[in-house]
Copies of this chain bind each other. A is one copy, B any other.
Amino acid sequence: MTHIPYGMVGGGPGAFIGDVHRKAIQMDGLATLRAGSFSRDSEKSKAHGRALGIESDRLYSDYRQMAQQESERSDGIKFVVVVTPNSTHYEICRAFLKKGIHVVCDKPLTFTVEESEELERLSREQDLLFGVTYTYTGYPAVKEMRRMVSDGLLGKIRFVNGEYAQQWLANPVDESSPLAPWRTDPTVSGTSNCLGDIGSHVENLVATITGLRIERVCARLDSLVEGRTLDDNVSVMVDYVGGAKGLYWTSQIAFGYDNMLSIRIFGEKGSLAWCQEDPDHFTFTPNGAPKQIFSRGRDTFAPEAQRYNRIPAGHPEGVYEAFANIYKSFVEALAKRLDGKRLVEEDLDFPSVSEGLDGVRFIERCVESSKNGSVWVDMH
């Protein structure tokens, strides 16, 4: 087992999500954190990095310097994890791609479609792996549902209902809170809040499981809490290529819901339903038969889902394990590549820069629809 060296940009002191990424990577012990630019404040970056066991000369205050120097070292990092504010994803990812370093970046990938398109182009030209951490696609149940759809168990898909309900922004955010700019300042969050943050998860999860491509959208972005600038509740009617229809609802004002990402898929031959808060189970209702509850580990999943199973049925796996699965796929693919082997499609079992681009385009089109009075807007 080789331990692939990796670096991180962002994820400094107090940055919760950086710690989640590190623990997720650490879970399978396939990659080791060897370099980092954790904060623009040089002292903070160094102190944080040392506490993480990184050697001083590989702690950087400037990500450009990090990309440069790590690309020159014989023991340099093989991939970088970008967990900075969304507004900076583009330039950071670009810098590492240009130096030939593989990338994993948080979602949403960039502010604009053009930026994501350029990252996609760059990664293709440089022949580099580029993962985007749509966490929820890492659940074994999601993999199994994708397999079932792909195997035709639902027949042609007719309708998809996707929801993502949270309550954590149901009250006005204190202006003095460090989170406030994320929720009120478009220069930090981009053109949307609720849509960009959680709506893109719905878009990505539906696409991952069903393979459906969106043809056009009609969206309404609401700001329902008094005094809020950005959206906190979003409805989207979706037409997919090929005739299927969809309806998405995402909300951050939904008292009673913590993180209720729920996907229901209806086809000619049956339906699937899954909810992120109970990730080990999903239901399958075949035409003319009772609803069945599938349980990760108990009911044999096909090999492409089964390989992500970590512990027997009934021992809950959670979001850390889903996160770890994304990295497991990415790092194993990278290891194979570094061994000089050719990657096949099933190796690339993680959300890529293309999915990242799709997400940014979805956000952009929905914002456009809503700004023009909730009219229909074509995706392409």
Which A residues are closer than 8 A to B by beta carbons?
1, 20, 23, 26-27, 29, 51, 158-159, 161, 166-168, 170-171, 218, 220, 222, 224-225, 233, 235, 237, 245, 247, 249, 251, 253-260, 264, 266-267, 270-271, 273, 276-280, 283-287, 289-295, 297-299, 310-321, 373-376
Contact = CB atoms under 8 A, between A and B. Distances in A.
Contact of A292 (B224, B260, B292, B310): B292
Number of identical protomers:
4
Contact of A260 (B255, B310, B314): B314
Contacts of A257: 314
A228 to B, nearest CB: 11
A249 B251 contact: no
A266 B251 contact: yes
**Most chain B Cβ neighbours within 10 Å, of A26, A27, A285:** A285
Nearest to A226: B268
A294 B167 CA distance: 14
A256 B237 contact: no
A233 B245 contact: yes
21 contacts: A158-B233, A159-B222, A159-B224, A167-B298, A168-B312, A235-B237, A254-B264, A255-B267, A256-B283, A257-B314, A258-B298, A259-B313, A276-B316, A279-B316, A289-B292, A290-B292, A291-B293, A293-B293, A315-B318, A316-B316, A375-B375
A315 B256 contact: no
A229 to B, nearest CB: 16
A314 B251 CA distance: 14
A166 to B, nearest CB: 7
B26 A285 contact: no
Contacts of A376: 373-374
Nearest to A373: B376
A247 B234 CA distance: 10
A159 B373 CA distance: 18
Given A247-B249, A249-B247, A318-B317, A255 B235 contact: no
A260 to B, nearest CB: 7
A373 B375 CA distance: 10
Contact of A254 (B254, B271, B290): B271
Contact of A321 (B255, B258, B320): B320
A220 B245 contact: yes
Given A256-B283, A271-B255, A299 B290 contact: yes
A319 B320 contact: no
A314 B258 contact: yes
